């Protein structure tokens, strides 16, 4: 029963993440770099900090944890956060050129597979005696393979969409639709976004042991990764503010109340995926296969819900029933992949 509770919690987090771009669409009169930076303050600093504080037992402090001789783990966690920040920047561009559904599908699909595999591999490079590669069991690899197959099917649906619609129809669904450019950006995004999972692996020991409940143990590492990512995004956004002369966005007092509200909401929804991942893993401790596969589960569900939003936002409007059928087949395969490692490991 606990396993199902854990999966439901992760699913709720994935649904929230897939919904985070809905409030961003309500932001008015701000350039991309301005609202991306403001929502990032909440998504990558404020809410992760509040989450990390939940892992700190009474009589201790977060500062104590971050100055307790774990300098290498902290450095590596933040370093991969900086690299993940590149994925965060290109994530928005992948959806600009492909739409919410297809953009998230390709980017998150690549991210999920590489994140699940590269985390243990990188740890094994530095700590070969710890046996991190043992996490990559046949059941886990099979789950990754099936999940990637689902992503590939959704990619086929996206290609069918690109081939069947006229330029005007593509622009009606996604204003800047550009399939070749979007695919390249989405693949780069997926590769760099996988660094988030690697960062979490390096920071997996950053907690107060048994004094920290299992459901909160990954939250300090999450904070360090997102802080690293914020640095990358902040530098780029401020540079874009200067290059595009959009500093006036921050002086537009008439829209601050509206824009700040929706940026806070977008940041909360985005962070919910990793808060849900941490809470959900606290209920999966009886299943080593699902613990190792949890990152892939989150990403697969993110893709599933992003495509649901894509349908709701009419990004697939005008596509043939065959194209929609291929899309739905890909979603079903993704859902199956989330349960597969547990079934195969029994």
Query: How far apart are the C-alpha atoms of 70 and 1, rounded to whole Å?
Result: 36
- Profile the chain (346 residues) by mean pLDDT over runs of 10 residues: 89 89 87 93 97 92 84 92 88 71 72 82 80 82 86 79 65 64 83 90 89 93 96 94 94 91 95 95 87 85 79 76 88 83 76
The model's pTM: 0.85
- Are 127 and 207 in contact by the 8 Å Cβ rule? The answer is no
**295 closest CA partner among 109, 159, 129, 124:** 109
Q: In Å, how far from its chain's centre is CA 11?
A: 13
* pLDDT score recorded for residue 305: 83
Domain count, the chain: 1
Q: Which domain covers residue 299, as residue numbers? A: 2-345
* pLDDT score recorded for residue 171: 57
* pLDDT score recorded for residue 219: 96
Place of tokens 């933040």: 78
Helix and strand tally (H, E) in the chain? Answer: 14, 0
* Buried b / exposed e along 159-175 (16+ C-beta atoms within 10 A): ebbbeebeeeebeebbe
- Are 173 and 317 in contact by the 8 Å Cβ rule? The answer is yes
3-state SS, residue 207? coil
Q: In degrees, to the nearest 5, what angle opens at C-alpha 298 toward C-alphas 284 and 222?
A: 85
Query: How far apart are the C-alpha atoms of 234 and 226, rounded to whole Å?
Result: 12
* pLDDT score recorded for residue 82: 95
């Amino acid at each position: 029963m606990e396993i199902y509770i854990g999966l439901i919690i992760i699913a709720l987090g994935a649904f929230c993440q897939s919904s985070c771009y809905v409030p961003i669409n309500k932001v008015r009169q701000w350039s991309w770099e301005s609202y991306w930076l403001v929502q990032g303050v909440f998504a990558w600093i404020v809410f992760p900090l509040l989450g990390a504080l939940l892992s700190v037992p009474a009589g201790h402090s977060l500062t104590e944890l971050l100055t307790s001789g774990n300098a290498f783990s902290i450095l590596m966690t933040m370093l991969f956060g900086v690299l993940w920040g590149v994925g965060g920047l290109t994530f928005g561009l992948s959806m600009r050129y492909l739409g919410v559904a297809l953009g998230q599908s390709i980017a998150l699909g690549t991210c999920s597979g590489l994140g699940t595999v590269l985390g243990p591999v990188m740890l094994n490079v530095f700590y070969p005696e710890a046996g991190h590669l043992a996490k990559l069991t046949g059941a886990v690899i099979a789950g990754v393979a099936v999940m990637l197959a689902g992503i590939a099917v959704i990619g086929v649906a996206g290609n069918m969409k690109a081939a069947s619609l006229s330029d005007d129809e593509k622009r009606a669904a996604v204003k800047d639709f550009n399939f070749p450019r979007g695919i390249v950006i989405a693949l780069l995004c997926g590769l760099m976004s996988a660094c988030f999972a690697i960062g979490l692996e390096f920071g997996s020991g950053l907690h107060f042991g048994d004094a920290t409940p299992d459901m909160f143990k990954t939250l300090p590492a999450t904070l360090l990764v997102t802080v690293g990512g914020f640095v990358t995004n902040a530098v780029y956004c401020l540079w874009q503010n200067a290059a595009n002369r959009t500093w006036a966005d921050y002086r537009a007092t008439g829209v601050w109340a509206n824009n700040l509200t929706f940026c806070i909401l977008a940041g909360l929804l985005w962070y919910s995926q990793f808060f849900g991942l941490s809470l959900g893993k606290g209920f999966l401790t009886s299943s080593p296969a699902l613990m190792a596969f949890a990152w892939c589960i989150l990403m697969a569900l993110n893709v599933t819900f992003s495509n649901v939003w894509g349908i709701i936002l009419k990004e697939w409007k005008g596509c043939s029933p065959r194209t929609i059928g291929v899309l739905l087949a890909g979603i079903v395969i993704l859902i199956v992949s989330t349960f597969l490692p547990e079934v195969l490991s029994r």
